[in-house]
Each structure stands twice: as C-alpha cells, then as structure tokens.
Structure 1
Amino acid sequence: MKISIRNLGAVREAEIDLKPLTVFVGPNSTGKTWTAYVLSGIFGPYGFRNYLNESNIDHILDEYPVLNEIFQQVNSRKSANINLIEFTDQYGEAHLNKVIAYAKEWMPRFLGTNRCVFDELIVSIHLAEAKGKLLETLRREVFTRSLSSTRSLKEKDQELMYFYSESDNTEENIAEVKTSQDLPSSVVKRFLLESVFQPMHRSLFPDTYVFPTERPGFVTFPLDRTFVSKDPVQRAVSSSGELLDQSSDVTKDPVVIVPVAIPIYTFYRMISKVYTLSARTSLLRGSAATKEYTRLAQLLEKEILSGGVQFSAPEPQLGRELLFRTTNDINLEIPVASSMVKEITPLVLYLRYLARLGDLLVIDEPEMNLHPAAQVRMIEFLALLVNAGLNVLITTHSSYMVDHLANLMKAAATNNPKKYENLFFLERTEAFIPQDQVSVYLFQDGTATSILSAEGEINWRTFSNVSDKISDIFFALPLPEEDEVADA
C-alpha cells in the first residue's frame, strides 16, 4: 500500500510503501512522528468520523447513486442489499482518498495545536497489492449494525450486505418500529454509510493503536480512580480529548481545558480501558490469534521485562493498582518500577487484553529507556508480532534495532533458518522476517527515501556519520605524552 504525502511540516514530498513492518529513521525534526501520526489518523476511526460529519452526509450519498437508492428503500422500511465486495472493488480506493482529503482540516485538532496550519497538506493512497487482501478480509468477516428495528448484516464468507427490519406484532416491537420511522433522515443516512464504509476501513486495519513517547508517564496515572469517577472535574481527560488542568483549585477557579493531541488521548483511553477489564478477559479471548497474543505478552514479560505485569485485584474496583512483579516475587507499584518497565508495560497490556489480528500499531521510538541488549530483543519481538498477524510502524533512532533488523531478514532468507536460531537473542525462528514484509525509510532533506536495498541491506549513514566524527575527534587529539611535548 503506497501513501503519497506532500507539505506535512518538514516533509515536502514523500512516498511511503506501508508494509507489515515499516521503519522510519533519520535525524530529529525531519517529520517521522508527524508522518506516523497522520497515517494513524487516516487508518484509525478519527479520519473516518471527521469525513462522515453531518454537513457532508448528503454530498457523500450523491456521489454514490447505489447508496442513495438503498437509503430510499431503508427509509421506507423496505429491505435492500448491496454487494459489498463489488462496491469496495469499484469505489474503495476512491473512498479512502476522499477520507484522506479531509486530513488538512482535522490535523490541527489531531496534533493538539493551534499554531500549525495544514492548508497545503496533500495525502493520497494507492492500494496496489493491498486491495486483494482488503477484499479477501472483507469477504471473510461478519459485520452487523442496528438502528432501532433496522439491521444491516454481512455474513461470514458472503458478499452481500442486507438491510432489513426486524419486527413482530408485540407491543414492544410496534413501538420500536414507530420510533424507527420517526428517526431523522440524517440518522438513517449515517447508519447506512457507516454500515457500508466502516467494514472497508476495518478490513484494512481492525483498529489502530498509537504508543506515543509520552507513554511511560501516562502508565503511572491512577487510572482506576479516573475511570470510575462520575465527577467530570476529577477526570484527567475529558471526552473531547482535552486534559483538565489539575493544578486549578476547582472549588474556586474555573476548570482549565488544555488541548491534547489525539494520539496521546487515545493512548490514555486504551490504558484506562484495560483497568475496567476482568482478569478473566484475556482467558476468554477465544480465537487462535488472540491466544497467541496472550502468549506473546508472556514472552515479552519473560525475555525483556524479566518480571510480570499484573493488577492488585482480579476484578475492576476502586483502588485497583497496576503492579510489576519481579523475579524475586516482589510487587512494585509501576511509578517506582524502572523506566524500562514503564516503557514496555503498555505493550504487554495491549497484547493481553486488546490485540486483534490485523491491527496497526504505531510505536514512536520503541527503544526508549532500553539497554542496547533490550533494544535488539525488542526488534526481534516486533518481528514476532508481525509474523503473528499484526502490522507495526515504528520511528527509531536506534542503530542496534535497524542493524539487527537486517540480520532478521538475512536469516529468513536462508535455506535452514532453524540452524541459526541460537545466534539470536530470543532464539526463535518466528522472529525471522522476509524482506518483502519490511520497508525502511530515511527522513532527511524534506523527503523520505527507501534505504532497504534489493539485497536486504539497510543503507543509512545518519548514525555512522556521527560514529565516524567521534572517531575522527579521538584520533585528532594527542596522546598524553604527545600533549606534554607540545606544551613544552
């Protein structure tokens, strides 16, 4: 899937081939994080919701006569259907580009800025080989929605989506039908458009999760109290994605609303949601894929954290704490645990409670707070996630991670990968990743350049130039005895 981006902050023009594992490298302030964030906004629910605003609904229906016809039938309480696969095949890419075209309008809110403008931002998408996978997933999955007594349903391994009314002669259903008939047409239109287009988006990526660089701080918040509180003044984050200034004396001063970037807000909501889940939630996640993600969470704890992440109580309750259990069976509150624990805990929680096959993870600098040995373990672990069906996009300044990624691709290309398993840190061939599943981009000089060669080498100089400079300085300085002679 190729995404073209123009005029996004430091990025004048770039084309990104989004692969199951996509890596952004380069100097600071070259546009890596903004690019990663705009992709998360486009493929996550935020971009679609902004596209489907009330003022745009009639215009969208006018663009698709087949949907306008279905609306007339549904609004008259008649049954209707649409071949969702054919519709997506014909209009899917054009629809996604229309959604993306609205990015220039929502980017200031998305990034939490009042000072940056994005009037010249241009983003476009070309599905390419991803189109086949999109249609295959769309055909395989079940999608259903309801609006009062009106239902939409696409069954497993079927192409048609049906719109129909469920009713009988009971007083309850007669009242429901009347309520449905009284619904504003705009509500019915939104229901129709969400029923048709949301499966398309979820077939690309069921959900998108951003792990911002602020994550170690947020994971220390007492989110159990925040989540159960009914007093909006006591909430740390409002439903509109804005932080409440807790320094205000709410008994005397008005509450101060501070805009916060949507990726940070949604990360906060993700961690908050986990606090409301039962310990049995991870055990009840039934598919083979979700069970594998639970196993991977345990592997992450064992091989990188060297300890376990757990709640102080199995069920949601006031005062429930997130704890880190050391190898010596000592329980520590997360705020007093190491920076590495704060860094990795959110990923453990995501895998244990939320991960679904096909999700997109956007991780800003996964090497933060990690020793070099942990960094190379982390890139092996991220490759494990990709091979388990997740999509991962990272920004990084870690030469260890990027250089070791080349090893993982080289090992995957060998005739007998098992032979080389013990050379690696996690000692698992599942961490070996084929080159065609990887893209690596160097952000520099206003663009992003692919630096992964056909031979599997990652050709970057952004770190080696610094290393060379350090060596040059060392050898340019005199030895102590030479310095004494020079002074004499």
Structure 2
Amino acid sequence: MRIQNLGPIKDATIKLNKLTVFIGNNGTGKTLAAYSVFAFRNWLENSFRPEFFNQEEVNALMDSGEVIFPVGESRDRLQKQVVSAFNRLNNNGEYFADFFKGPNLYVRGTSKITIDAGDLTTALRPIKGMAQSYVTGVADGDTVSRHQYLLVSEFADDYKTVKVTRTEISPMKVEAKNAPILAQDTILNYLNAGISRLFLDLYANSCYLPAERIGINVFRAQLNAQIVRERFANPGSRLNGIQQEGDVRYPYPIESYINYLNSSLMLLDQPYRKDMENEHALMTELVPGDFTFDSDNDKLAYTLDDSEGTSRSVDFNLTSSSLKSIFALDLFLRQSDNMSWLFIDEPEMNLHPTRQVAVTDLLYELSKTGTPVVVSTHSDYVVKELVNQMLTDKVDSELGNQQSAENVSVYEFAKDGVTDLGDISARETFANFDETTDNINQRYYQLLDQIERNSGDDADE
C-alpha cells in the first residue's frame, strides 16, 4: 500500500503482512496508516463487486452443469480487478473523504491511497472447496416453477483448476407473489461473489479497536441514546447506490467500533472458538473473570470468583481501566469467523508492563493462526516482546518447526518519513524508544553526581 499526502504522511509504502506494526512519535501518522489499511479492507469486504463469471460462462454452467477455470489465471484476474477498482477510488476521492471525515486529512486531488497485487498476498486464501445454493424460477400465469440449485466449487488437478458443478435440488410450483424471479444479472452477481470467496476473504468481518475504545465502552448507553434516531453509514454504501442517512460525525473506524460494540454484546454468551486454546489461555491471564451483558437492562458487568469460590459482580463502569481496554479483544475472540482482520490502536493502553507482554503474545498468536493483525503502538514492551516471540520462532525453526518471524513487518514513523525496519529480531536497539530511556538515565546519573558534588562542597565549608 502506498499512502501519499495524508495528514503528516507525505509518501509511505507499506507491505501488509500477517502482523503489521506501526511505531513512532505522536503526530507522525501511525493511526492514519492503520485507518488507510482498514479503508481498503472495509471496501473489499463491503463494496467490491467481483467479475469472475461472465454471462457466457454462466450460460455454460446452466446448460452443461459444469465449468472449469484455471486457478492461476483466475487469481490473477481477481487481483487485477481488486487493484484497479480500489485505486480508481482516488479519482473523485468520495469514499476516502467520507471515511476519514476530516477536511485537512484526505484532500481530493492531492491525497492518494493505492494498492498493488502484493497487498493481496494475505487476502488470497484458497480453501479446499465451498457450496452455495440459489433459487430461480419461470413464470407461468399466477404460479412460478421454482428451482433451487446447489453449486459446489472445488479445487481439482492438484489445485491447478477450479471446478464448479450445478445440481438441481427441488423443483416445485408456488404462487408468483411468494417466489420473485431473480434477474440474470442478480444471479451473475451472486455466483461471482460465491466463487470469488475461494480466492478472496470477501466475507471477512474486519474489526477496528480504536484508541477511543475505553471511552466508547464506558459511555456506550449515552452514545446510543444520542444517536438513537440516526444510523452510522458505511462510507462504501454510496458506492453501491445506497443513500446514506444520518449525520456522520466521526472517522469511520470509530463509527465502525460503535456499531461493532452494539452488535456483538450477545457474543459474551458464546465460548471462545475451539481452535483458540492458546489464545484463550492468554486471554485468561488478561481477563481472569467474565464479562456479562444483561440485555433486559442494557447493563455490562464483570464477574470474578473470590478465594472462597463466591462469584462477585461489579458494574462495568467500575472495573479497572485495563479491563475496559481489553474488553473488545475478548469480544473479538468469540467471533466465529477466523478470517477476520484485527486492527488495534495502542494495545498497551492502561496495561501494566506484564500485561503489555501478555497482550503482545496474544496478538502474535492470532497472527500465526490465521488472523491478520495491524497494530499501532507507543510501547517498547510490546515491540521488545515481539522480538522475543520472533526469536522463539527462529529457535523452533531450527528444531524443525515452521518459522513465522518473516511474517512480521514493522514500520517506524517520523516527521521525515516512514522506514521499514526489516527483521526486527536482528536488532539490538530501537532508537524510537531507547533514546528516551537513555536520556532519562543519563539525566538521573547527572543529578546524582551533582548532589554528590554539592555534598562535598558543604563538607569543605
């Protein structure tokens, strides 16, 4: 991804990875860079319309019941479509202007956010196969001959081709008013979205946890009361011809988090995913109790067993700031889709150093097990624990286990530009953090020396 003339960012190139980390001083553009990546993911998941099938191929599928596509050409075609369509958004800049909601951030005609095929490396995830069904019909007076079809898309020939087969399931006659006939272009869009899922995680549900999350968590009820008659609209809705409603007041990542919070509280009744044993253990270290939600009274609480095994509950607003900071991460781990992207600003926020280490371990584990993570941080504990995790993977790779340190990208933001730090596990120091620590220590010893000299002068007198 290339970001040009966006706030303090003049020109930065960022390679999206399984774990992408932004460090640097305040006001250098870290959050805006994370916003930019989220702008891409939001558009891909909600607004991109793939053109995998053409009408001729659909007709062939209807007639013969089977079509075959070469995998390599299909992936390349989809890549080119995504890159071209996203980059064209800069032509009028409407999507980005709605997304950032700041007159001095994305400036139409000057600012640009573009991607290339390399940015899709982590998004192109071929899966073994998938099934979907659709319903169509033929009108016959007041009735419709209703036909339901099952499509099975699977990789064949050792992943060299994709085969799509079509089987009729249940033909039946129903009243016309109960079976609207799908138009051919609707079926085409439906099939395109389905088959493209083999290559693109179009249905992922990226989650952005902004630095404002603690305030939003605490004042959730008041925010809901304030916006009860309004709807926060996705900036991509206008791209699909949907009229936006409501007064969009915040950058979309913040609005997205408000929507996410309101729609996800029922997840607290759900267990963590079965494939998340390691993540669950790390989360238990961060959150030893349980968050609960009383939907009847719209109340959040936190419950913890005391030393005698008695459960004690406290209102969410009275919990520690660390629990408020981690709350949304707990919700995220209860989602059913492990293809979601996680964006988090300042994961260290309000956490003791020991818990900053634990949350780093959790984010690293997520990135290794299929959840791409984008982080912006001011914490040297986060970065240095990340180094330890990468070094651990290097040790494990020498023992025959898979190395994943190469799947981490760290970028340092400064007033004079953005630098790719490369393999940070090979670095002994980080000027971004260490210069401040060294200055504090140097000043400390200077003051001790001065006190000692002053004491000597007093003794001489």
Give the TM-score normalised by structure 2.
0.77
Secondary structure at the counterpart of residue 202 of structure 1: coil
Q: How does 1:93-108 map to 2 (within 5 A)?
A: 93-104=79-90, 105=93, 106-108=95-97
CA deviation profile, 1:440-466 (whole Å, cap 9, x unmatched): 111124532221347632653111122
Q: Which residue of 2 aligns with 1:247?
A: none
- Kept after mapping to 1: 8 A contact 2:283/2:362: no
Q: Quick one: structure 1 residues 452 and 191, their matched pair in 2 at CA, closer, same or farther if it must change by over 3 Å?
A: same
Q: Equivalents in 1 of 2:438, 2:267: separation in Å?
A: 51
CA displacement 1:93-140 (0-9 Å, x = unmatched) = 211212321443211211233443243304122338938x83xx4342
Match of 2:362 among 346, 364, 381: 381
Task: Output the CA distance in 2 between the equivalents of 1:458 and 1:89.
Answer: 40
Residue 326 in structure 1 maps to residue 304 in structure 2: yes
Is it true that 1:67 corresponds to 2:54 in the alignment? yes
Report SS of the residue matched to 1:142.
strand
Partner of 2:373: 392
Q: In 2, distance between residues paired with 1:225 and 1:469?
A: 43
Q: 1:40 aligns with which of 38, 41, 61?
A: 38
Aligned to 1:343: 325
Flag the 1:345–1:148 CA change in 2: closer, same or farther, 3 A: farther
Q: 1:236 to 1:343 in 2, by over 3 A?
A: farther
Structure 1 residue 413 displacement after superposition: 2.2
Aligned match of 1:109 = 98
Q: Say if 1:263 and 1:81 are closer, same or farther in 2 by CA, change over 3 A.
A: farther
Is the CA contact (8 Å cut-off) linking 1:80 and 1:163 kept in structure 2?
yes
Q: Distance in 1 between matches of 2:365 and 2:112?
A: 35
- Paired position in structure 1 for 2:413: 443
Provide the C-alpha distance between the structure 2 equivalents of 1:82 and 1:223, rounded to a whole number of angstroms.
Answer: 52
Separation in 2 of the partners of 1:452 and 1:48?
29
1: CA distance between counterparts of 2:267 and 2:445? 58
Instruction: Quote the residue 1:125 is aligned against.
Output: 116
- Provide the C-alpha distance between the structure 1 equivalents of 2:436 and 2:177, rounded to a whole number of angstroms: 72
Contact 2:300 2:316 in 1 (8 A): yes
One of 370, 392, 402 as aligned partner of 2:383: 402
Relative to structure 1, the CA distance from residue 384 to residue 399 in structure 2 (aligned partners, 3 Å threshold; closer, same or farther) is same
Residue type of the partner of 1:213? A
Matched residue, 2:15: 17
> Is the 8 Å Cα contact of residues 224 and 319 (structure 1) preserved in structure 2?
no
- Cα offsets for 1:31-81 (capped at 9, x unmatched): 21111121122123x3454454xxxxxxx86xx8x624346779x999774
- Aligned Cα root-mean-square deviation (Å): 4.0
Correspondence list, 1:420-439, <5 A: 434-439=404-409
The aligned amino acid for 1:377 is A
1:229 corresponds to which residue?
Answer: none
Task: Quote the Cα distance in structure 1 between the aligned partners of 2:391 and 2:69.
Answer: 43
- Partners of 2:164 and 2:77 lie apart in 1 by 16
Q: Under a length normalisation based on structure 1, what TM-score does the superposition of the two structures give?
A: 0.73
Q: Give the equivalent residue in structure 2 for 1:57.
A: none
1:304 aligns with 2:307: no
The residue number in structure 2 matching 1:479 is: 450
- How many residues are matched? 423
> 1-side partners of 2:377 and 2:341: how far apart?
17
Q: 2:9 and 2:345 mapped to 1: Cα distance?
A: 17
Judge conservation of contact 1:358–1:389 (CA < 8 Å) in 2: yes
Is the contact made by 1:310 and 1:325 (CA closer than 8 Å) also made in structure 2? yes
Task: Specify the code of the residue in structure 1 equivalent to 2:356.
Answer: Q
The SS at the match of 1:257 is coil
Greater share of helix residues, 1 or 2? 1
Whole-Å separation in 2 of the counterparts to 1:190 and 1:234:
34
Distance 1:240 1:311 in 2: 26
What is the letter of the counterpart of residue 380 of structure 1? D
Given residue 23 of structure 2, which amino acid in structure 1 is its aligned partner? V
How far 1:214 moved relative to its partner?
1.3
Range with bigger deviation, 468-477 or 10-19:
468-477
Tell me which amino acid in the other structure corresponds to 1:240: A
AA paired with 1:95? Q
User: Residues 73 and 79 of structure 1 are in contact (CA less than 8 Å); yes or no, is this contact kept in structure 2?
Assistant: yes
Q: Equivalent residue for 1:421?
A: none
Counterpart CA distance in 1 for 2:352 and 2:424 is 31
Give yes or no for contact 2:279–2:365 (8 Å, CA) kept in 1: no
The one-character-per-residue Cα deviations of 1:258-284 (angstroms, maximum 9, x if unpaired) are 5222212222222222234583x438x
CA–CA distance in 2 between the matches of 1:153 and 1:266? 33
CA distance in 2, matches of 1:98, 1:108: 19
Match of 2:262 in 1: 272
Q: Which amino acid aligns with 2:450?
A: L
CA 223–146 in structure 1, closer or farther in 2 if over 3 Å, else same: farther
* Matched residue, 1:425: none
Cα displacement string for residues 193-238 of structure 1 (whole angstroms, at most 9, x for unaligned residues): 43454554317x8331111111112223456995xxxxx9862761
Deviation at 1:146, TM superposition (A): 3.7
Q: Retained in 1: the 8 A contact 2:390–2:404?
A: yes
Aligned residue identity for 1:321? K
Q: Percent identity?
A: 21
**Cα distance in 2, alignment partners of residues 256 and 21 from structure 1:** 35
Residues 381-426 of structure 1: per-residue CA shift (max 9 Å, x gap): 21222233322110000011111211222222226999xxxxxxxx
Aligned to 1:456: 426
